[in-house]
Amino acid sequence: MPDGSCTRPMEQYRDYLRLLARLQIAPGLQGKVDPSDVVQETLLKAHERRDQFRGGTDAELAAWLRQILANQLAETLRRFTRQQRDVGRERSLEAAVEESSARLERWLAGEGGEAGERLVRDEELLRMTEALATLPEDQRAAVEMRYLEGVPVARIGERLGRSEASVAGLLRRGLDRLRELLAA
């Protein structure tokens, strides 16, 4: 990827998109909306519309996929809330997906020491989301809530039905495992 051109197949963005979808689905809908289904629909739409993609780099492909994901999330939320199309809500959802992606990039840059070149960071971002996807569910949820949503440990404990000490253990084990996976 020395010239920054788009070389990665869309399928390699699956874990990244799933993470962003999980971060945008309200806790009250998490039992009804499966982020994997939303991502599957997103990738299906992207493949159907691949001739509309005007970018040339992996970063532009990721941005295009995030936009399709935001639209899919809005459509899914409309189905569950039975409300009419709300362009303002769709724009705020797009902004929320972009903010989640930016937060993930900032977290990765902080964990890695130096931000580095954009292409390297994009590659690390995908590796990070793939590594997060391999964590046990409770560790993954705790790490995402704490570091990607900024949820306090006490609130994570409430959401997961665990003590703060238990959440701290989940976070420690989750981060340790992520470091192992990313170092490999």
What would the mean pLDDT of 147-170 be, rounded to a whole number? 92
Residue 184's nearest CA partner among 148, 134, 139, 138 is 134
List of residues 6+ apart from 55 with CB closer than 8 A: 6, 61, 63, 64
More confident residue, 182 or 5: 182
- Residue 113's pLDDT is what? 43
To 5 degrees, how large is the angle CA 13–CA 118–CA 172? 65
pLDDT by residue (tens digit) across 110-137? 544 443 444 456 677 788 888 888 999 9
CA 7, CA 171: separation in Å to the nearest integer? 34
Domains of the chain: 1-117 (no CATH), 135-184 (1.10.10.10)
Inform me whether the pLDDT recorded for 93 exceeds 60. no
- Residue 108 backbone phi and psi in degrees, to 5: -60, -45
- pTM for this structure? 0.62
Q: 32-36, 45-49, 108-112, 162-166 — which is least confidently predicted?
A: 108-112
- Residue 30's pLDDT is what? 72
